[in-house]
Amino acid sequence: MFKLILTVDERTLIDEVYVLDENLFEPVYVLRPVDPQRRDKWRIIEKNLTRILRRAADISFENNKITQSERNQFHISVTAKEIVRALENNAIDPQRMVAFFREIEDINELDIKLKSKLIDTDHETEILLNQIKSNIRERLPLENQFNYRVNWKDVSDRINYLVKFQNDFYTVIKRQIDYYITQIPAKDILYDEILEHAIQCRMLNKRYCSRDEILEKVRAYVLSNVLQPCMIFGKSGSGKSSIMAQIAIKVLEWFSNPNSVSIIIRFLGATPLSSDIRRPLMSIIQQICILYHLMPSSPIQDFTTIEELKTILQNLFMQIPINEQLILLFDSIDQLQVGDYNCEKWLPINYPSNIKCILSTIPVITEDNGEQKIEYKILNGLISLFPNGTIIEIREFDRNQAQQVVYSWLERDGRRLSPLQMTWLQPKFESYSPNRSDPEPTPLFLSLVYQITQTWRSFNDKPDRDFLKIHSTRDAINYLYNQLSKKHGDILFKRAMTYLRLAGGLSETELEDILSADDKILQSVFVHYLPPTKIFRLPSTLWIRIRNDMHKYLIEKEIDNTLIIYFYHRRFQQHSIFNINQEKPIETIRRAYFAGPVGNFPNLYNQPFVIESKKLIEKMNGITSLVVDRRLTKQRPYVLNKNEQECIFNIRRINQLCLNLDIYRPEPYFLYDYNFMWGFLHCYKMSDRFVADSSFPEIRFLLTQYMSCSSILDKYPDNFAFEIVSRLTSSIEILPKFIYNLFQQCLNNCVLRMLESDTRTFTTTMNKYQIGVVNAICGAYNTLYVFLSQRFLIFRFYAQDWTGKMFDYKLPSNEFTSVKFGSTDICFYSSKLILIFQKFDHHFGLHLNYNHIIHVDFIHKEGLFVCSRDNQSIDIWHCLDKKLIEQYVFEAPILECSTIERHMGAVIRVTLETGLTHYLIATNVQGKFHFQLVATLNKKPDKQNIFLNFETDVYYSEGQSHIYLYYFERAENDRLEKIGDYVAVVEFTQLAFDSQSTESSVYGNMGLIYKIKRNYTKAIKMLENFLQMTLNYLDAVSAHLELEDTYLLWAV
């Protein structure tokens, strides 16, 4: 019919702009993407297309093929369609609608350009518009209709109209809000909570991936006589929640009398009232009482403790009739607050035979803070509580399961993929393990990949290269973020996601405030126009659009009495878009928002807006900076209410400032703020959140003072001002600016008398150990490693324990003479033995026997480099897998070997008995090491040598006035260069430390070499810097503990 009523030219045009998409079970024609380079031509095509479709709609209507309403869809605008839809949806309650009509009396006197914007010149459209106006006037109450007549060219008349419109709009909208607030029925909190979890259950069930073997195990448990809970566990994204939702829906089918079965499910952390366990327990108790007409053993009040709620719930279990079955499901214990991970506090221990409890969780939650890892072993805690419980593990899919899941989703959505597109998808079903703890494919990974395929049309025959690179959940999240960045703006989207992650979730107001305070975001948005300077904010609709596109991965929860938005999946929570340095300015703005303008934090409330857009600068007549009001919400004080009985603190603000305090973050200026510290000390112990370490000297000094008085302040926080003033008084003349300001704040709040200087004694030593002779010592983030003759000590200093903990390990042999410290491992070795100790797991691993070991080093994280004289080879071992992964064999025994670390590998120098010196490069490409020989030196130009950098070796002899530079990566005839006219060559060697190498220097047993020319100034300065670095290191150690009978072995 459609083609019959079109001319040949019209059919040709339709075929050009529309294409058939057969990826739907019911194929549809879709508009081809518009080429941005042909927008002018598209405008002409669009007009012709509109005319063709309208004519076809008219003919179809005349032939009774479509209705009048369907025919009008081709003639009215999108705005008109929305008005029609609003009239239809609110036909019963027209009070919900308000209409404003404007008539411009001098419309015919306006210039053509302006007139075209204010009036529709199409006669057919004008008739339809008048019909809509008539419908509105007929259906709306008169008090909800506003009419204006204005002479547009009369400036005063136009201003009066705009002022009246503004006042009328404000008044009527306020009236509407007030009216409908009175119409809202009283809230039933329990009903709403149960409904929210039911909706969540239905939504998660749509994402369910068929796991029949899991359901069968759960069914067997439910129908068994086991009296302890069933514990379902799996990695993040393994589909635990969707399985729990499927259990809730399927469980009724497992009983012969389903009417006797009641199901209570809580998706913990998925609703505002389920972020901590207390309120879910209260709602479950209330729900049980209603279901079985019971009364709790004691009234439930706001102050009822978790332990009391546990007892009440346990007593209710005993009152449920034996012929009734109760299935109780707790999903995602890992989504609770940290304090609730210990299930013993709140989970009933005893269950009658007619009550089955099913729980799901991630087995271990690891919080990583530099080298400090805190593990919360939720599953182990549950197993110790219920040793006879049922344990079910959810593992990753195999290839067939993954393929069947995607096929089932396609069938559910009435879609298919072309054979070519299926070839792009097939590799995603294969098993893949980017690391041992995150095997793919998981349901989350498949869901993300499937979401991408939903945009594919059957005529898309060119693969997306970025899609082909997806192998893991992290890759899939990156792809999702990149696609949404293109849609919403790269800077806006990525920074919004980063703010959410850094804050652990933000309220709508907090997020919109922070986005409006970030000039990088505003500059990316306000390229062509600027908002009013008195309301200079990011338009709310921009965030709303992002939230709508991310709704599957975001949840609302209540934290610190604040309703926040956060990522549901832990994989999203842990996904960093930027590196640590790129995050610093973003984190600075987040902190400045909650801390206010303290220290060097920017004053977000008064900061001017810098215009970078050339178009805007031209439009603003060259102005590049504006004074604006961003209307940011003022932070409430740290102490909300203070009286003799109690203080109410702004926990939200305090907790936000206690986030991300590792040494790689921006300087935490709020630690100089007396008000913050006073509020913090009344809520937490000093050692609960802070580690006495920082990359900022002033903060490090201040934290040392806080640490020295922490034991007093933990008990008597009101003494903060006195303790700080008494410690800083003697140094008042040399205090840095911010610490001096803190001193003055404390002085203003201190009512106690100071002790005289000669009567005050303070010590910063927290612990003292007698350990014996030290062979080597090395420090890393909050950790000190000490190597003794037969023992190995680790001192860890936790945020929760400033005094630290000592771990003592006995070495399996007393033959070890040397130690090498790597980023994840420590290597003890002698001339014949090698033993690897894994830092994070605290256990010994790889153990090797060699003859005549010459050199050992770590290469790119888990690679161990070993050079042996008698083996005539250099080897690389994988520390974790305990496997030899690469070897290079030489033609003669090896005399000397040295290495210098470079990106993803190392440079290696090997000198053989034959006198030849070989230079090799070891590189790591996608987890595989390769050796490449780059140069060979037939004879050493001098006795001693040391790497200067990644491409230069320095040869020298003590007492000589010249050195040789050997550029081993240059062309062969341009490698050796002699440099003379030096007064002397000075050498000193460091034996006690094995620090990280930098690009311009190498620390290690080969020592450091400095070239001294006409004067010694530069060399002496460099030596001073090196010694000062050593002293600073020792100071950092002594700030935590004293080691008695300690000897540092130095050769200078």
Residue 889 CA, chain-centre distance (Å), reads 45
- Looking at per-residue pLDDT, the higher value among 477 and 792 belongs to 477
CA distance 709 to 766: 10
What domain range includes position 467? 396-488
Mean pLDDT, rounded, for 908-924? 93
Structure tokens at 972: 């062969």
Cβ neighbours of residue 682 under 8 Å, at least 6 residues apart?
A: 647, 649, 717
Per-residue pLDDT at 1041: 46
Per-residue pLDDT at 109: 85
Residue (of 476, 434, 474) closest to 453 by Cα position:
476
Percent share of the chain, pLDDT over 90: 50
Mean pLDDT, rounded, for 909-929? 89
Per-residue pLDDT at 108: 85
**Angle of CA points 925, 929, 934, to nearest 5°:** 95
Mean pLDDT, rounded, for 832-859? 90
227 and 371 fall within a common domain: yes
Rounded to two decimals, the pTM is 0.74
Residue 94's Cβ-count burial label (10 Å; 0-12, 13-18, 19+) is: middle
CA distance 444 to 768: 50
Mean pLDDT, rounded, for 623-639? 93
**Phi/psi at 749 (5° precision):** -110, 10
Whether 680 maps to a domain, the answer reads yes
Q: Is the pLDDT of residue 1036 over 60?
A: no
Assign 3-class secondary structure to 719-741. HHHHHHHHHHHHHHHHCCHHHHH
Whether the Cβ atoms of residue 507 and residue 605 lie closer than 8 Å to each other:
no
Residue 1017 banded pLDDT, cuts 50, 70, 90: very low
Whether 771 maps to a domain, the answer reads no
Whether 797 maps to a domain, the answer reads no
Residue 753 banded pLDDT, cuts 50, 70, 90: low
Domain containing 382 — which CATH number?
Answer: 3.40.50.300
Provide the domain count of the chain. Answer: 6
538 and 601 fall within a common domain: yes
CA distance 903 to 998: 11
423 and 548 fall within a common domain: no
Domain C-terminal end among 635, 656, 679: 635
Single-letter amino acid, residue 753: R
Whether 925 maps to a domain, the answer reads no
420 and 387 fall within a common domain: no
Whether 238 maps to a domain, the answer reads yes
Specify the DSSP element, H or E, that contains 359.
strand 355-361
Q: Is the pLDDT of residue 1046 over 70?
A: no
Per-residue pLDDT at 757: 52
CA distance 733 to 138: 81
Q: For strands 963-967 and 952-956, give the pairing.
A: antiparallel
CA distance 320 to 330: 19
Place of tokens 């929570």: 573
The lowest-confidence range among 360-369, 438-447, 917-926, 1010-1019 is 1010-1019
Mean pLDDT, rounded, for 997-1023? 37
Q: Is the pLDDT of residue 1018 over 80?
A: no
599 and 737 fall within a common domain: no
Whether 1016 maps to a domain, the answer reads no
Highest mean pLDDT of the ranges 70-79, 428-437, 505-514, 785-794? 505-514
Domain C-terminal end among 615, 635, 655: 635
pLDDT (tens digit per residue) in 253-302: 999 999 999 999 999 998 888 988 999 999 999 999 999 999 998 888 88
89 and 155 fall within a common domain: yes
Whether 779 maps to a domain, the answer reads no
Mean pLDDT, rounded, for 827-852? 89
CA distance 899 to 884: 19
Q: Is the pLDDT of residue 985 over 70?
A: no
Per-residue pLDDT at 435: 65
pLDDT (tens digit per residue) in 517-537: 999 999 999 988 888 888 999
CA distance 183 to 279: 28
Structure tokens at 503: 């804050």
383 and 427 fall within a common domain: no
Domain C-terminal end among 395, 427, 453: 395
Residue (of 472, 495, 995, 575) closest to 785 by Cα position:
995
CA distance 575 to 665: 17
User: Considering all CA atoms of the chain, what is the largest pairwise distance in Å, rounded to the nearest integer?
Assistant: 108
Q: Is the pLDDT of residue 651 over 70?
A: yes
The per-residue pLDDT of the chain, averaged, comes to 85
Mean pLDDT, rounded, for 214-230? 96
624 and 687 fall within a common domain: no
What does the CA dihedral 301, 307, 310, 314 come to, rounded to 10 degrees?
A: -110
Residue (of 345, 261, 273) closest to 308 by Cα position:
345
Specify the DSSP element, H or E, that contains 1022.
helix 1017-1038
Whether the Cβ atoms of residue 674 and residue 743 lie closer than 8 Å to each other:
no
Mean pLDDT, rounded, for 441-454? 93
273 and 290 fall within a common domain: yes
Q: Is the pLDDT of residue 842 over 90?
A: no
542 and 483 fall within a common domain: no
* DSSP codes of every residue in 805-835: EEEEEE-S-S---EEEE-SSEEEEE-SSEEE
Q: Is the pLDDT of residue 516 over 70?
A: yes
Q: For strands 833-838 and 843-849, give the pairing.
A: antiparallel
470 and 508 fall within a common domain: no
**Phi/psi at 767 (5° precision):** -150, 155
Q: Is the pLDDT of residue 997 over 70?
A: no
For residue 214, the SS3 value is: helix
Q: Report the half-sphere exposure of 1003 (CA within 13 A, side-chain side).
A: 14
Mean pLDDT, rounded, for 549-568? 93
Q: For strands 364-369 and 99-104, give the pairing.
A: unpaired
Whether 214 maps to a domain, the answer reads yes
Specify the DSSP element, H or E, that contains 768.
strand 767-770
Q: For strands 372-377 and 364-369, give the pairing.
A: antiparallel
Mean pLDDT, rounded, for 303-307? 91
482 and 534 fall within a common domain: no
